[in-house]
Chains A and B, each alone.
Chain A
Amino acid sequence: MADVISFRDDAASQEPAVSVDSFAGQSNATAVRIEPGEDARALLPDLGRLSLVEVNFPAFGDGRGYSAARILREAGYTGELRAVGDVLPDQILAMRRCGFDSFAPRAPIDPALVEARLAAYPDVYQKVAASERPIWSLRHG
């Protein structure tokens, strides 16, 4: 797990993630992996027992995982949300905004580059995460 970039205060989970299908039948599993095309909402009844959700990006251009992440955060999930697979440095800002707080990229990423990418924009136009204060809110107090 050396290659996990984490933005969480707690240590990155070491739990092996199970598939969405097997998660439903394993009442002791606390980590699950969502593949593109799988419905993140299937996990909502069991969010309480999850400590890690991995969202797989087999190819960087498949953006379904961004919606999956947001859906989980919108439902109140506060555990670790990890983007795995074809995760590129220029995507990390959008992923952070959608709720991912750890990353296991297939190809290692220079942490300095990640830091620079995350600081590239001063503000946001949309309220995507509950904690975000978009430009329209700054304008109107």
Chain B
Amino acid sequence: MYQYDQYDQAMVDARVADFRDQTRRRLSGEMTEEQFRPLRLMNGLYLQLHAYMLRVAIPYGTLSAKQMKMLAHIARKYDKDYGHFTTRQNIQYNWIKLEDAPDILADLATVEMHAIQTSGNCIRNISADQYAGVAADEVADPRPWAELLRQWSSFHPEFTYLPRKFKICVIASQEDRAAMRLHDIGIELVKRDGIVGARVFAGGGMGRTPIVGPEIKDFVAEEEIISYVEACLRVYNRYGRRDNKYKARIKILVSEIGVDEYRRQVEEEWAHMKTLGIDPPVAELARIRAHFADPAFETGLSDEIDRSDPDFALWVDSQVIAHRVPGYAIVNVSLKPIGGIPGDASSAQIDLIADLGEQYSFDELRVTHAQNIVLPSVKKADLYAVWQKLAAAGLAEANLDLITDIIACPGLDYCSLANARSIPLSQKISERFADPARQRDIGELKLKISGCINACGHHHAGHIGILGVDKRGSENYQLLFGGSGAEDASLGRIVGPGFDEDGVVDAIEKATNLYLDQREQGERFLDTYRRIGIQPFKEAIYG
């Protein structure tokens, strides 16, 4: 994986000193909270309902065991001994003291980490396919491109005060595991005439106006990707709406002027930008790519897995994904224990996963947008040992992509934007569907909960989505069906009137019962919904 050179390290060290000075000016009263706010936000420090929250960047979701252990250290030393992995492949700490924040950033900098690009109206931390580099179906590793974009977008002076935040995602396979088309810019690496380039989508997003991003460019060569994306950003910075923060994302600009007009403006700007010498040389991407060279995979390994322990066999069937190298497997570690808080992990659990990554997965870990952790390259012969250690730490839930593998935002338990709580509802759903056999019978069902219209819990992209709203002072939940963040991206549709917390759990049960009754061979919940439509579900729920 990528390692800083002296330039990268100097920039992050400078940021630590910079923020220490800004915090000092705030604490001494030299700066007002209003003036400090945008500065702390650029360092990922939010003021939530009860305390400051610090969001730490995990670029494209990849990190080393040492970095993972630092995340545990921060949870232990500065927070309440746990952290929360987010839908942006980052981690956040919910109980931070302002005066500790500079020390936390200093600790992070010792392991090449930071909180840059985790907040503010700038280009945010770049996300990517969590199986990058090891997936059997990708045309190239998307992480070198993501790292190139990370460096380009870090402290970009022209794009520090965009109309709104800006999220970029890079994938490299037809199967979309990262909700790429629901990003402000989505990049899919494709191969044309044997050359890898970028297919670019723009104007996707969730929030109160969800849109699946349209394609704006079929192919951009690697030596021109920076100038192309810079042109996309300049057009957005100049013409994105600033009169209403709810209409300020690029998706509104693209849909108001039309994708053809946006594309035309970008092409015009790009033609100009290509003359400025702003594209790094091909050698830079090659330098970065060398950091992502394969680890020392062994050859001649067996693909056999001893399935004689039935609990282990179930876990393998659920959590283990095909690796592109024979004898190896991709392991998903569920952070969704029954009745738990999606994405939360204690410092002891984080340490344990880090140890497993170090010992069994070439010192590498991934965070997924579904709030789980991945050990990307585990020898099949080691799977049983890994499973036993996970099970001993309460981390061996076998529910990947099942109904209890719930994505949920922090909701009203923490977030000052939320209208309703997400966590207790996700716990109730998880408990209702706890029976492993029942979950497996229902099969793949992506359930996503947001506590407000901002959609951090990706409810629009859930096969079942839940949106918490405030209905005359009480928490109310709307149910949506038919969304998908995958390569068959679609937006969920509201089923009907909302429910209270228990009501929505009952409604989901009625819907899954209808699905079990109606499904045809091989159909997922989403497929059955798409085939029979919303009406039978309405009747089952409200009839």
Cβ contact within 8 Å between A136 and B157: no
Q: Which residues of A contact B14 (CB under 8 A)?
A: 120-122
Cβ contact within 8 Å between B151 and A135: yes
The CA-CA distance from A64 to B11 in the complex, in Å, is: 26
Cβ contact within 8 Å between A95 and B157: yes
List B residues at the A interface (Cβ < 8 Å).
5, 7-8, 10-11, 14-15, 17-18, 21-22, 35, 38-39, 121, 151-152, 154-163, 234, 237-238, 242, 272, 276-278, 280-281, 283-284, 287
Cβ contact within 8 Å between A74 and B272: yes
Q: In angstroms, how far is the closest chain A Cβ from the Cβ of B156?
A: 6
List A residues at the B interface (Cβ < 8 Å).
36, 60-64, 66-67, 70, 74, 88, 90-91, 93-95, 97-98, 116, 120-128, 130, 134-136, 138-140
Cβ contact within 8 Å between B158 and A66: yes
Candidates B234, B277, B278; contact of A67 at CB < 8 Å: B234
The CA-CA distance from A140 to B157 in the complex, in Å, is: 23
Candidates A66, A93, A125, A128; contact of B11 at CB < 8 Å: A125
Q: Which residues of B contact A122 (CB under 8 A)?
A: 7, 10-11, 14
Cβ contact within 8 Å between B38 and A60: yes
Name 29 A/B residue pairs within 8 A (Cβ), A-sorted. A36-B242, A63-B161, A63-B162, A63-B237, A64-B238, A66-B159, A66-B161, A74-B272, A88-B35, A90-B39, A93-B157, A94-B155, A94-B158, A95-B157, A116-B21, A120-B14, A120-B18, A123-B7, A126-B157, A127-B278, A128-B156, A128-B157, A134-B280, A135-B11, A135-B151, A136-B281, A139-B7, A140-B283, A140-B284
Q: Which residues of B contact A64 (CB under 8 A)?
A: 237-238, 242
- Measured CB to CB, the nearest residue on chain B to A64 is B238
Cβ contact within 8 Å between B22 and A90: yes
Cβ contact within 8 Å between B5 and A125: no
The 6 lowest CB-CB distance pairs between A and B, nearest first, are A63-B161, A94-B157, A136-B280, A97-B157, A135-B7, A136-B284
Other than the given A120-B14, A125-B151, 14 more pairs (CB < 8 A) read A63-B158, A63-B237, A64-B242, A66-B159, A66-B237, A74-B276, A90-B22, A121-B11, A121-B155, A123-B10, A126-B152, A127-B278, A130-B276, A134-B280
Q: In angstroms, how far is the closest chain B Cβ from the Cβ of A113?
A: 9
Given the known interface contacts A61-B38, A120-B14, A127-B276, the answer about A67 and B284 at a Cβ–Cβ threshold of 8 Å is no
Q: Which residues of A contact B272 (CB under 8 A)?
A: 74
Q: Which residues of A contact B155 (CB under 8 A)?
A: 94, 121, 124-125
Q: In angstroms, how far is the closest chain B Cβ from the Cβ of A134?
A: 8
- Measured CB to CB, the nearest residue on chain A to B272 is A74
- Measured CB to CB, the nearest residue on chain A to B278 is A127
